[in-house]
């Protein structure tokens, strides 16, 4: 049984919506995050930034980083960037970007459900990153980045959200990147229905695996049992692919990959069941090898298992979300001399199958957009 609960939250003050809410962290390079903070020093990125997000890329210890985050948040609170703490409430949260609109419920999910597997995960977690985020939560003492959780479509929940969106919102504003965000209070009369309708659902963590693992670390040490989350119906979500950029350390990398059974020169098919690879003006199409389990049918797993090992022990891999303009993507790898492996986006049924099987995908397997943002909701962890 899944447990969800209304939470006591602050909302960013309406006068601060053009300064505090931050862009999606992993959609920006470190240089772009530095530039954003230089332009908007009140951005919540100042609370969450990492060592690469400082001018001059100064080395920073973990303790210095989280202490800086606490100072940045205290400054925002002193300036009145967030309103007063509200009573226990659910909120409706709508995100609109490039013609796509999704609306969910912001509230709390229980860490016991994460530990028991009622909240299913699908991506690998790096322990060091989770430990750092746990330290950040402990020192900063607040959470402003809701993890994104999916549930199967529910008519009652949809009806509640439709009714709430007819009322006056608490917040409505657009980000510089075009994302429009709207927040409504869900009246107390709907609270019991939200809790009861979701209690029999199996929930799926779609974004925020490391933040959730960090919350579990703190919960095991006596920390809070509830975690800030935005819950969306699966029919409200869209996933995009993370392509793989590789700097191979072998000569003629396409020749090495051509040894994989069934590989053919050229770009063949639509990419389903195959991985299309581009290097130095040429294409190679590599079919999936021996896929049996749901996990093994994903391009990302096939890449890690069969392709990456043939590109050299010291080959470096970076990730880029699929842009709208493929010509721009190819120009980028031509300029850098890298190899490009195109990934097919994971579908929601594939994600459910992997999560239900208890498997985890390689890092950067999913990119759900639009992203839930930081600096809108604020929850004290004291």
pLDDT at 1 over 80: no
Kindly list the structural domains of the chain, giving each domain's residue range(s) and its CATH number in brackets, ordered by start. Answer: 4-239+367-380 (no CATH), 242-344 (3.30.1760)
Q: What is the pLDDT of residues 207-226, one digit of tens each?
A: 999 999 999 999 999 999 99
Gap between the Cα atoms of 229 and 198, Å rounded:
13
pLDDT at 322 over 70: no
Question: In the predicted model, what is the mean pLDDT of residues 8-34?
Answer: 90
Task: Please tell me the predicted confidence (pLDDT) of residue 58.
Answer: 66
Burial 151-170, CB ≥16 within 10 A → b, else e: beebeebeebbeebeeeebb
Pairing of strands 242-247, 316-321: antiparallel
Count of beta carbons in the 10 Å neighbourhood of residue 35: 12
Gap between the Cα atoms of 262 and 135, Å rounded:
48
3-state secondary structure the chain: CCCEECEECEEECHHHCCCCCCCCHHHCCHHHHHHHHHHCCCCCHHHHCCHHHCHHHCCCCHHHHHHHHHHHHHHHHHCCCECCCCCEEEEEEEEEECCEEEEEEEEEEEHHHHHHCCEECCECCCHHHHHHHHHHHHHHCEECCCEEEEECCCHHHHHHHHHHCCCCCCEEEECCCCCEEEEEEECHHHHHHHHHHHCCCCEEEEECHHHHHHHHHHHHCCCCCEEEEEEEEHHHCCEECEEEEEECCCCCHHHHHCCCCCCEECCCCCCCCEEEEEECCEEEEEECCCCCCCHHHCHHHHHHHHHHHHHCCCCEEEEEECCCCHHHHHHHHHHHCCEEEECCCCCHHHHHHHHHCCCCECCCCCEECCCCCCCCEEEECC
Q: How confident is the model at residue 177 (pLDDT cuts 50, 70, 90)?
A: confident
> Cα dihedral sign for 167, 170, 174, 180?
negative
Question: In the predicted model, what is the mean pLDDT of residues 250-258?
Answer: 95
Q: What is the pLDDT of residues 283-299, one digit of tens each?
A: 999 999 988 899 999 99
Residues in the chain: 382
pLDDT at 42 over 80: yes
Q: 153 and 183 in contact (C-beta within 8 Å)?
A: no
Gap between the Cα atoms of 324 and 327, Å rounded:
9
Phi, psi angles (nearest 5°) of residue 146: -60, 135
Percent of the chain clearing pLDDT 70 (strictly above): 98
Task: Please tell me the predicted confidence (pLDDT) of residue 324.
Answer: 59
Query: CB pairs under 8 A, 24+ apart, for 15-18?
Result: 16/42, 16/80, 16/81, 16/82, 17/171, 17/173, 18/173
Q: 278 and 340 in contact (C-beta within 8 Å)?
A: yes
């Amino acid at each position: 049984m899944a447990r969800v609960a209304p939470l006591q939250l602050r909302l960013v003050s309406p006068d601060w919506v053009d300064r505090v809410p931050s862009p999606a962290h992993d959609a920006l390079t470190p240089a772009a995050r530095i530039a954003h903070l230089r332009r908007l020093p009140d951005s919540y990125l100042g609370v969450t930034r990492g060592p690469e997000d400082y001018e001059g890329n100064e080395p920073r210890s973990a303790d210095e980083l989280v202490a800086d985050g606490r100072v940045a948040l205290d400054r925002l609170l002193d300036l009145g960037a967030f309103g007063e703490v509200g009573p226990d409430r659910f909120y409706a949260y709508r995100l609109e970007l490039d013609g796509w609109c999704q609306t969910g419920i912001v509230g709390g999910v229980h860490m016991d459900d994460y530990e028991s597997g009622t909240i299913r995960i699908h991506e690998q977690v790096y322990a060091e990153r989770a430990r750092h985020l746990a330290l950040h939560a402990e020192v900063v003492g607040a959470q402003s980045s809701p993890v994104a959780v999916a549930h199967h479509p529910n008519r009652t929940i949809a009806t509640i959200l439709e009714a709430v969106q007819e009322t006056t919102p608490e917040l409505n504003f657009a980000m510089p990147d075009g994302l429009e965000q709207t927040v409504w209070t869900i009246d107390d009369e709907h609270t019991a229905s939200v809790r009861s309708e979701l209690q029999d659902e199996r929930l799926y963590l779609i974004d925020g695996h490391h933040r959730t693992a960090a919350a579990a670390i703190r919960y095991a040490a006596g920390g809070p049992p509830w975690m800030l989350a935005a819950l969306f119906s699966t029919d409200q979500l869209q996933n995009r692919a993370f392509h793989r950029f590789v700097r191979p350390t072998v000569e003629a990398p396409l020749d090495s990959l051509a040894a994989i059974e069934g590989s053919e020169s050229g770009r063949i098919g639509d990419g389903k069941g195959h991985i299309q690879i581009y290097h130095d003006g040429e294409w190679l199409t590599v079919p999936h090898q021996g896929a049996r389990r749901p996990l093994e049918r994903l391009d990302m797993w096939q890449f890690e298992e069969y392709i990456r090992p043939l590109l050299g022990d010291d080959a470096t891999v970076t990730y880029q979300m699929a842009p709208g303009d493929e010509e721009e993507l190819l120009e980028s790898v031509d300029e850098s001399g890298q190899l490009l492996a195109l990934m097919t986006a994971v579908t929601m049924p594939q994600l459910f199958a992997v999560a239900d099987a208890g498997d985890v995908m390689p890092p950067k397997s999913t990119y759900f957009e639009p992203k839930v943002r930081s600096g809108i909701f604020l929850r004290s962890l004291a």
